[in-house]
Amino acid sequence: MNLKNTLLTLSAFIFILSSCKKDPITSANDESQKYFPLQVGRYLIYTVDSIHFNDVTMTSDTIHFQLKEEVGSSFIDSTGGTTYILIRSRRMNDTLSWYETDQWSATVNKSHAEKTEENLRFVKMIFPIGDGIKWNGNQYIDTSNGLAAFSGWEYKYSELHIGKILNGLGFDSTVTVTELDNENLIEKDFEQEVYAKNYGLIYRIQQHISKQNVSTPWSNPEKGTIVIYTVKEVH
C-alpha cells in the first residue's frame, strides 16, 4: 500500500514538472518577425526633414523631401537564407517623379533582422521582442577601421506593442528601438527607430548635434544634423 502511494505521489510530481515546462509552441507562435516584413513589391514612402547646423555661419538649413523604400527583388544568399534588395528612391514633392538614389539589402530569420545600409551591416531587431532587451546592433561593423563613431552603441527595446498615428496613418501595434542615446553638456547623439507590425519601419530619427555654450538649450544647437523620417504611405 505504501509503495502504491509512493508511486502515485511520484507520478503526480512528474506530471506537475512536465506541466511547468515551457510550451514548445510558444516560439512558433511568436510574431516578432511581423515587425520586419520583407516581400517583393512592398514599399513605404517617408517624409524626410533634414536639418544641418553650421557653426561657422551660425545658421541652419532645412531640406524637405520624400523617400521611397521598395523591396525590389530577392535571392538565396550564402547562408541559405533569403536576402531582399531594397530600392531607395527620392523626390522633392508629390508632383515630381522618383529617381533612384541607391540600393540597400535586408534579411530576416527566426533570431534577428539585419539591414545593410551603404555597405554597413546592422542587426536592427532580435527575436523574440521583449521590453528592455539589449544587444549590439553594430557587431558586424569594424569600428577600428575609421568607423569609431559606431562603437559602443547599445540597442534596446521599449514601448512594446502600442498603437501610434503618424501622418494620419494608424498602426495598431508598434515597438521602439533606441540604438544610441548619449548626451553630455555639449554633445548629443541619439538614434531611434519605430517599427509597426505588418508594415516595418515607420519612424526614424538621427540626431548628432553639439554646442559650445553649456547654458544654451538643445533646441538651438550650433553644429551637427538632425534627420527625421516619418511614414507617409504604405503598400
Q: Could you tell me which residue, 137 or 20, shows the higher pLDDT? A: 137
Provide the residue count of the chain. 235
* Beta-sheet strands, E only, within the chain: 43-54, 59-76, 82-91, 99-108, 112-117, 120-126, 134-135, 155-166, 169-183, 187-196, 200-210, 223-234
Q: What is the mean pLDDT of the segment spanning 163-170?
A: 97
Residue of 88, 65, 85 lying closest to 76 (CA atoms): 85
Q: What is the pLDDT of residue 199?
A: 98
CB atoms within 10 A of CB 62: 9
Are the C-beta atoms of 172 and 197 separated by less than 8 Å? yes
Confidence at 136, pLDDT banded by 50, 70, 90: very high
Are the C-beta atoms of 181 and 193 separated by less than 8 Å? no
Among the ranges given (105-109, 118-122, 142-146, 188-192), the one the predictor scored with the smallest mean pLDDT? 142-146
Q: What is the mean pLDDT of the segment spanning 156-162?
A: 97
pLDDT averaged over every residue in the chain: 89
Confidence at 145, pLDDT banded by 50, 70, 90: confident
* Beta-sheet strands, E only, within 17-58: 43-54
Q: What is the pLDDT of residue 53?
A: 95
d(CA 61, CA 70): 28
Among the ranges given (42-46, 71-75, 147-151, 215-219), the one the predictor scored with the smallest mean pLDDT? 215-219
Q: What is the mean pLDDT of the segment spanning 52-60?
A: 87
Domain ranges of the chain: 35-234
Residue of 199, 176, 169, 187 lying closest to 36 (CA atoms): 199
Residue of 234, 235, 232 lying closest to 64 (CA atoms): 232
Confidence at 146, pLDDT banded by 50, 70, 90: confident
Looking at the predicted structure, is the pLDDT value of residue 163 above 50? yes
d(CA 43, CA 88): 10
